[in-house]
Amino acid sequence: MQNLMKKETYPYAFDPSACASCEGRCCTGESGYIYVSKNEIENIAELLGMQANDFAKEYLYKKGYKYSIKEMKFNGSYECVFYNRETNGCGIYDARPTQCRTFPFWEYYKTRVEELKLECPGIIDV
Ligand code: SF4
Ligand code: SF4
């Protein structure tokens, strides 16, 4: 096991090599919110060559005062519209939201490591 990622104050490490065979469990599965900020909306729209307003209409929905990326249902799983099953990758990887960039090091999971392990096979106790 090489190149483990660790973050100070987190009780686990992450092995990125697990992503190759995991089939994007953090981008699929149970429905969840994939929040995007105003800057992130602009960056993703630019990456896709779209106007931010058009991008928002097609790919986002409002949740309270925030925006989330839409999901689509596939075999009972809710998948981010940008998850690509064929490549097992993110279609907007270079502009993916902070929420995706920082997974699995979310404050929420600091005290919920067992829950995190159920979602992400790359989690290792330290
Ligand atoms: S759930 Fe974990 S191992 Fe799977 S793709 Fe996401 S970060 Fe990688
Ligand atoms: S934006 Fe990319 S990394 Fe984030 S949930 Fe969607 S497919 Fe996954």
Check whether residue 82 and residue 120 sit in a common domain. Answer: no
Question: Could you tell me if 34 and 75 lie in one domain?
Answer: yes
Q: Nearest bound ligand to CA 70? A: 2
- What does residue 52 show for φ and ψ, rounded to 5 degrees? -55, -40
Judge if 88 and 32 occupy the same domain: yes
3-class state of residue 96 by DSSP: coil
* Sequence-distant (≥ 6) Cβ neighbours of residue 100 within 8 angstroms: 26, 27, 34, 90
Write out pLDDT tens, residues 46-58: 999 999 999 999 9
- Mean pLDDT along residues 65-77: 95
Give the pLDDT mean for 59-77.
95
Structural domain for 1, as ranges: 1-26+103-126
The reported pLDDT for the residue numbered 50 is: 98
**Sign of the C-alpha dihedral, residues 103, 108, 111, 113?**
negative
Q: Is residue 2's pLDDT more than 90?
A: no
Mutate to test the pocket of ligand 1, among 25, 100, 103 (most ligand atoms within 8 A of CB): 25
> Can you give the pLDDT at residue 118?
95
Same-domain pairing of 52 and 70: yes
Model confidence pLDDT, tens digit, residues 100-124 = 999 999 999 999 999 999 999 999 9
Residues 37 and 74 in one domain: yes
Whether 90 and 32 share a structural domain: yes
CA–centroid distance, residue 117 to ligand 2 (Å) = 19
Closest ligand, as measured to the CA of 22: 1
State how far the Cα of 121 lies from the Cα of 25, in Å rounded to an integer.
Answer: 9
Q: Structural domain tally of the chain?
A: 2
Q: Are residues 34 and 67 in the same domain?
A: yes
Query: Cα(41)–Cα(118) distance, rounded to whole angstroms?
Result: 30
pLDDT tens digits along 15-35: 999 999 999 999 999 889 999
Pocket mutation for ligand 1, best pick of 5, 26, 88 (most atoms within 8 Å of C-beta)? 26
If asked whether residues 35 and 87 sit together in one domain, one would say yes
Task: Report the predicted TM-score, pTM, of the whole model to 2 decimal places.
Answer: 0.93
